[in-house]
Each structure stands twice: as structure tokens, then as C-alpha cells.
């Protein structure tokens, strides 16, 4: 990669990042990560890092009608990898906790004298959006807690797969839906959106991470599933964590590993715009090629009529798959084109190793 190509990729990725944070992504997570890893590799090999590089800054700025608010603590991201040996090497430094990497919008809530007083989106890591009124109508965000001191909790606003079913006619996926819904200006509409806040850090506590997560559950929060990392059984543990996500109907896009000891975590500090004490492990579902046989129509619990693709059976993760929901006519057209037909070549995955989905088709 030349310097000019690198600079072009930085500009391109910043654009894609902005669209993602606006809830309107234009490329897949896998394509985003591939471009990001290419940029990081160039920086590692050459020692040159653009001031605009997404490896050194979060690009998204608040751009809607919600009030801007400056965070009371840094809301930075984590470095990412999709390479298991890299993860194994990183994990040998300190004992860690592994958590689900929730696929939604990062938010923070604050309590004073036991009462919820504010809520905000991550935004650019320093300045976010004030979503306090919307947080008041999300059932999984406690309005009071049995602690009188200041309490700050970070977590993720998501929409569970089963809750998303009734909205899938108009929206493409739970992540975009949750991100857009919590930022609506109409609180009454937010209340209808079936959003869930999943807590994953008690910022104002100096306990070790596993103790924080237990405390969050005791305080009444829906808390991210976690385990103490098992170094000798990483892949088996990752599969177990994926099934926890499936059982809870959580949309996820990977796992998060964080140093468990609070003092050790804080001692790691910050690398560029990332907390150095954690690492996100991204995983992707393997695509399988097959052929379309038919389109059937299914009536859901809410009365919505959903197209279902029937295709030649393929074995994915040890089970036979031969049908997948396409959610609605708009998405069916995006995936299959204007002329879906018997024999059309399609590619299928099992999202989170469980849910069959068509990712693309030969037009």
C-alpha cells in the first residue's frame, strides 16, 4: 500500500464510520474491519500514522437535534483483532474476563442520591448526545437504585432478536434500529421500540471487573453475560459464549476481553484512542453457497407477512439448513434482485452460529 492509497483509505473509513454511527451503515462489519486492519498494518510497517486515522481518533460527531453533553469519563473504544494467536498472546499478560460484544449503541447512565439523573450516547468518546428523557422509558434501565452515592454505569442499547420481529418490515437489522430509536426526539415513540439496556461496566467502582458485573445485577441491571477467561480452552469458551448470546436473543458481533483486576486495568492506560486494558475479538460467520428453490410466505406473531427463502440444503455448524427469513420485500429485492428464480446462486450463513441468513446472491 502506498502513502496515497493509505490516506485515501483513511478518508474512506472515516466516512464509513460516520455512516455506521448515524445508524445507516453502507458496508458490512467484515468489510469495515478488513479496511481498518489494512490501515493498522500499514501504520505498523511504516511507523506513519495520519492525524485523521481511525486508529488514533474517533471520528463521529453529534449531528442530530439532541443536546450535546460532555462525558464525565472517557468513553473510548477497544483495539480489535480477528486473529486467535494475537488474542492468545495478548491474554497471557494478565487474568481477564470475557464478555459478549453487544451490537448496539454504547451509552452511559448516571445516578445521584439513588435516582437516574442523566443518560448519554458515546458520540465521539468525549461528547455525546443527551438521551435522558428517552432512557426514562427504557424498562431495563432502573429509575432508582439502592445507593446514595454517585453511580455511573456504561452499557449498550440493543434490540433483542425476538423484540425486533415486529419492526423488521421497516428496518433492516436490530443494530441500526436500536441506534436510531434511542436517539428519537419523540419519547412516546421510543417507549414503543422495545429497547434493552445491557450494562457492562460500573464506572464509579474500583472493584475488579467480575465483581462489578455481579454488583450491577444486584442493583437491578440486565448485565452482559461473562466468564473468567480460560486460556487453555479459548475456542470452546467462545462457542459457549455465542450460545449464551443466542439463548438471550442478543445481537452480538464478537467478544470483549478485559483485564479483571481494577488496578492492573487502570495501569495499562490508553493507546491512542483505545483502552489498553481490553481487546475486542471479532468473529464472522462462514458463508456457504447454495441454490434458491422457492420463496414462501410466513405470518409472524404480530401478523406481519415475511418472505422465506427455500434453498438446497447445506450443512452449517453440524446442522442442515434449507430455509431463511428475508424479513421484508425491500430486503428481498436488495438481496435477490428484481428477478428471484429457481437455481439462483445464493450465499448463506448462520448468524451467531444459530440464525440462518442470506448474505448475497448472484444477480
Q: Decide which of 249, 282, 315 is a domain's last residue.
A: 282
- 207 and 89 belong to one structural domain: yes
pLDDT at 79: 86
48 C-beta neighbours (distance < 10 Å), count: 11
Distance separating alpha carbons of residues 139 and 222, to the nearest angstrom: 10
Q: How many domains does the chain have?
A: 3
- 39 and 127 belong to one structural domain: no
In angstroms, how far apart are the furthest CA atoms of the chain?
64
pTM: 0.72
Distance separating alpha carbons of residues 109 and 151, to the nearest angstrom: 8
Considering only CA atoms, which of 203, 187, 183, 209 is closest in space to residue 111? Answer: 203
Domain that holds residue 83: 68-282
- 92 and 138 belong to one structural domain: yes
C-alpha cell at position 121: 450516547
Distance separating alpha carbons of residues 119 and 265, to the nearest angstrom: 25
Q: Is residue 134 part of a domain?
A: yes
- 184 and 257 belong to one structural domain: yes
Q: Decide which of 228, 257, 282 is a domain's last residue.
A: 282
128 C-beta neighbours (distance < 10 Å), count: 25
Q: Is residue 248 part of a domain?
A: yes
pLDDT at 214: 97
In tens digits, what is the pLDDT along the chain, a chain of 363 residues?
A: 888 889 898 888 888 877 766 656 677 767 777 788 888 888 888 888 887 887 765 444 444 578 999 999 989 888 888 889 999 999 998 999 999 999 999 999 999 999 999 999 998 888 999 999 999 999 999 999 999 999 999 999 999 999 998 887 777 678 888 998 999 988 999 999 999 999 999 999 999 999 999 999 999 999 999 999 999 899 999 999 999 998 999 999 899 999 999 999 999 998 766 889 999 998 766 678 899 999 998 877 667 788 899 999 987 766 788 998 887 888 888 888 888 889 999 988 877 556 788 888 887
Instruction: Show Cβ contacts of residue 357 under 8 Å, excluding neighbours closer than 6 positions.
Output: 324, 325, 348, 349, 350, 351
- 193 and 337 belong to one structural domain: no
- 36 and 82 belong to one structural domain: no
Distance separating alpha carbons of residues 309 and 316, to the nearest angstrom: 16
pLDDT at 62: 45
Q: Burial, 299: exposed, middle or buried (Cβ in 10 Å; 0-12, 13-18, 19+)?
A: exposed
Q: Decide which of 224, 253, 282 is a domain's last residue.
A: 282
- 265 and 140 belong to one structural domain: yes
- 88 and 111 belong to one structural domain: yes
- 12 and 78 belong to one structural domain: no
Instruction: Show Cβ contacts of residue 353 under 8 Å, excluding neighbours closer than 6 positions.
Output: 239, 242, 243, 246, 285, 317
Q: What is the CATH number of the domain that holds 254?
A: 3.30.470.30
> ∠64-69-72 over CA atoms, to 5°?
145
Q: Is residue 260 part of a domain?
A: yes
- 270 and 300 belong to one structural domain: no
Q: Is residue 53 part of a domain?
A: no
Q: What is the CATH number of the domain that holds 341?
A: 2.40.50.140
- 127 and 260 belong to one structural domain: yes
Considering only CA atoms, which of 248, 278, 238 is closest in space to residue 76? Answer: 278
- 230 and 199 belong to one structural domain: yes
- In sign, the C-alpha dihedral spanning 134, 140, 146, 151 is negative
Q: Is residue 314 part of a domain?
A: yes
Q: Cell 500500500 belongs to which residue?
A: 1
Q: Is residue 57 part of a domain?
A: no
Considering only CA atoms, which of 109, 112, 111 is closest in space to residue 120? Answer: 109
Which residues form the catalytic set?
101
Amino acid at each position: 500500500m502506498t502513502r496515497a492509497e493509505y490516506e485515501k483509505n483513511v478518508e474512506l473509513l472515516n466516512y464509513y464510520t460516520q455512516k455506521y454511527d448515524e445508524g445507516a451503515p453502507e458496508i458490512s462489519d467484515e468489510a469495515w474491519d478488513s479496511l481498518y486492519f489494512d490501515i493498522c498494518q500499514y501504520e505498523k510497517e511504516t511507523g506513519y500514522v495520519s492525524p485523521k486515522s481511525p486508529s488514533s481518533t474517533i471520528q463521529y460527531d453529534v449531528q442530530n437535534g439532541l443536546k450535546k453533553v460532555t462525558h464525565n469519563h472517557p468513553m473510548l473504544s477497544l483495539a480489535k483483532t480477528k486473529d486467535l494467536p494475537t488474542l492468545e498472546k495478548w491474554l497471557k499478560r494478565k487474568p481477564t474476563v470475557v464478555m459478549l460484544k453487544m451490537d448496539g449503541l454504547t451509552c452511559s447512565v448516571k445516578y445521584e442520591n439513588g435516582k437516574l439523573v442523566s443518560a448519554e450516547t458515546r458520540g465521539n468518546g468525549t461528547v455525546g448526545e443527551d438521551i435522558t428523557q428517552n432512557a426514562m422509558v427504557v424498562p431495563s434501565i432502573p429509575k432508582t437504585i439502592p445507593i446514595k452515592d454517585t453511580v455511573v454505569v456504561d452499557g449498550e442499547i440493543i434490540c433483542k432478536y425476538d423484540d425486533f420481529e415486529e419492526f423488521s418490515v421497516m428496518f433492516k437489522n436490530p443494530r441500526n434500529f436500536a441506534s436510531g430509536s434511542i436517539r428519537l426526539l419523540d419519547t412516546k415513540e421510543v417507549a414503543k421500540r422495545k429497547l434493552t439496556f445491557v450494562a457492562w461496566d460500573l464506572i464509579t467502582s474500583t472493584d475488579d471487573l467480575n465483581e462489578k458485573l455481579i454488583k450491577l445485577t444486584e442493583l437491578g441491571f440486565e448485565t452482559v453475560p461473562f466468564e473468567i477467561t480460560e486460556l487453555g480452552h479459548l475456542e470452546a469458551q467462545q462457542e459457549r459464549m455465542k450460545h449464551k448470546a443466542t439463548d438471550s436473543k442478543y445481537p452480538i458481533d464478537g467478544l470483549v476481553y478485559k483485564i479483571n483486576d481494577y488496578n492492573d486495568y487502570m495501569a495499562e492506560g490508553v493507546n491512542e484512542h483505545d483502552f489498553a486494558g481490553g481487546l475486542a475479538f471479532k468473529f464472522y460467520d462462514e458463508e456457504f453457497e447454495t441454490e434458491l428453490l422457492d420463496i414462501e410466505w410466513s405470518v409472524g406473531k404480530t401478523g406481519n407477512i415475511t418472505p422465506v427463502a427455500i434453498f438446497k440444503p447445506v450443512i452449517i455448524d453440524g446442522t442442515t439448513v434449507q430455509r431463511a427469513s428475508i424479513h421484508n420485500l425491500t430486503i428481498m429485492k436488495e438481496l435477490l434482485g428484481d428477478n428471484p428464480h429457481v437455481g439462483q446462486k445464493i450465499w448463506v450463513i448462520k448468524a451467531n452460529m444459530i440464525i440462518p441468513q442470506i448474505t448475497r446472491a448472484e444477480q
